[in-house]
Amino acid sequence: MVTVHGLHKRFGPLHVLKDVDLTVAAGEVVVVVGPSGSGKSTLCRCLNRLEVASAGRIEIDGEPLPAEGRQLARLRADVGMVFQSFNLFGHRTILDNITLGPVKVRRIGRAEARKQAMALLDRVGIADKADRYPAQLSGGQQQRAAIARALAMRPKVLLFDEPTSALDPEMVNEVLDVMVSLAAEGMTMIVVTHEMGFARRAADRVVFMDDGRIVETAPPDEFFAAPRTERARDFLSKIL
Ligand code: ADP
Ligand code: MG
């Protein structure tokens, strides 16, 4: 579903991604971990072309990333993203937040879009919040709304960039539970998170990044029990 080959990203003189290779199969859940500044967010942002790669090849479902125009809008629909800071439209209701994309990009009729949105809100447990505005919801509810919004586009792959890092501790699990159920239903997911409990429950593989490179890739039980590199051991000793 996702193929990354020889990806480099530079910001001026700063070389942030250094020859990254990553293949994610359909239905696979890959958790990306690594120290702050190691390039995790930049990797996600290159995958949906919020950032343009300096070199290398990225394919989603066998198609290279388009450069611009309508094809780029389609790509953004295929590659959903959930951010640390929710990024809901503050002046729109939760229901509007979810229907805007499908109506505009997927060309779904308004009534059908609302029906699908309500089903998604029900699935993430906040159907009663449809007519509220984002600021009227807790952080955990806003993040679940953001996940519903991403799902409404029927993405082929969902990227999560530290989706629970901005939440109060008691709200973390309500978001992780939604993500675990998506994983169980076969959604292809790339998840940047420090929630090792989620990695153990849901990840097929853990990818450890350091200084712009993928240093280690392993199934979660292997990675946590016996990291192969000193850098991964050092990282784990700090977060566990
Ligand atoms: P992580 O998500 O692993 O913490 P990032 O991908 O956010 O790491 O950042 C990797 C490096 O790239 C950092 O040194 C960061 O300062 C730098 N960086 C990220 N985005 C930009 C940008 N738009 N312009 C310049 N430098 C950036
Ligand atoms: Mg980041």
Tell me which of 9, 10, 16 to substitute to probe ligand 1's pocket, judged by most ligand atoms within 8 Å of the beta carbon. 16
Q: Tell me phi and psi for residue 151, to 5 degrees.
A: -65, -30
Q: What ipTM was predicted for this assembly?
A: 0.98
Tell me the pLDDT of the chain (240 aa) as tens digits: 999 999 999 999 999 999 999 999 999 999 999 999 999 999 999 998 999 999 999 999 998 887 777 778 878 889 999 999 999 999 999 999 999 999 998 889 999 999 999 999 999 999 999 999 999 999 999 999 999 999 999 999 999 999 999 999 999 999 999 999 999 999 999 999 999 999 999 999 999 999 999 999 999 999 999 999 999 999 999 987
Rounded Cα gap, residues 202 and 129, in angstroms: 28
Q: Tell me how far CA of residue 34 lies from CA of 47, 74, 114, 192, 211, in angstroms.
A: 18, 30, 39, 9, 9
Q: Which residue has the tokens 């447990």?
A: 125
The alpha carbon of 165 and the centre of ligand 2 are apart by a number of angstroms equal to: 10
Best CA proximity match to 155, nearest among 193, 112, 120: 120
Report helix angle 94-104 to 139-152, nearest 10. 20
Q: Which helix (H) or strand (E) holds 63?
A: strand 63-64
Residue 4: both structure tokens together: 């990354």
* 3 state SS of 213: strand
CA 8 to chain centre: 20
pTM for this model (two decimals): 0.96
Nearest CA to ligand 1 atom 19: 42
Is 211 strand, coil or helix?
coil
Q: How far apart are CA 47 and CA 190, in angstroms?
A: 10
Partnered with residue 119 across adjacent β-strands are none
Does any ligand 1 atom lie closer than 6 A to the CB of residue 41?
A: yes
Closest CA to 213 of 55, 13, 41, 40: 40
- Structure token pair of residue 220: 């979660």
Separation of 15 CA from ligand 1 center, angstroms?
Answer: 10
Task: Indicate the top mutation candidate among 17, 41, 43, 210 to test ligand 1's pocket, ranked by most ligand atoms within 8 A of CB.
Answer: 41
Pure H helices in the chain:
40-47, 69-78, 94-104, 110-123, 139-152, 169-184, 196-202, 220-225, 230-239
Distances (CA, A) of 89 to 13, 36, 46, 92, 153: 34, 27, 23, 6, 16
Q: Is 39 in the pocket of ligand 1 (CB under 6 A)?
A: yes
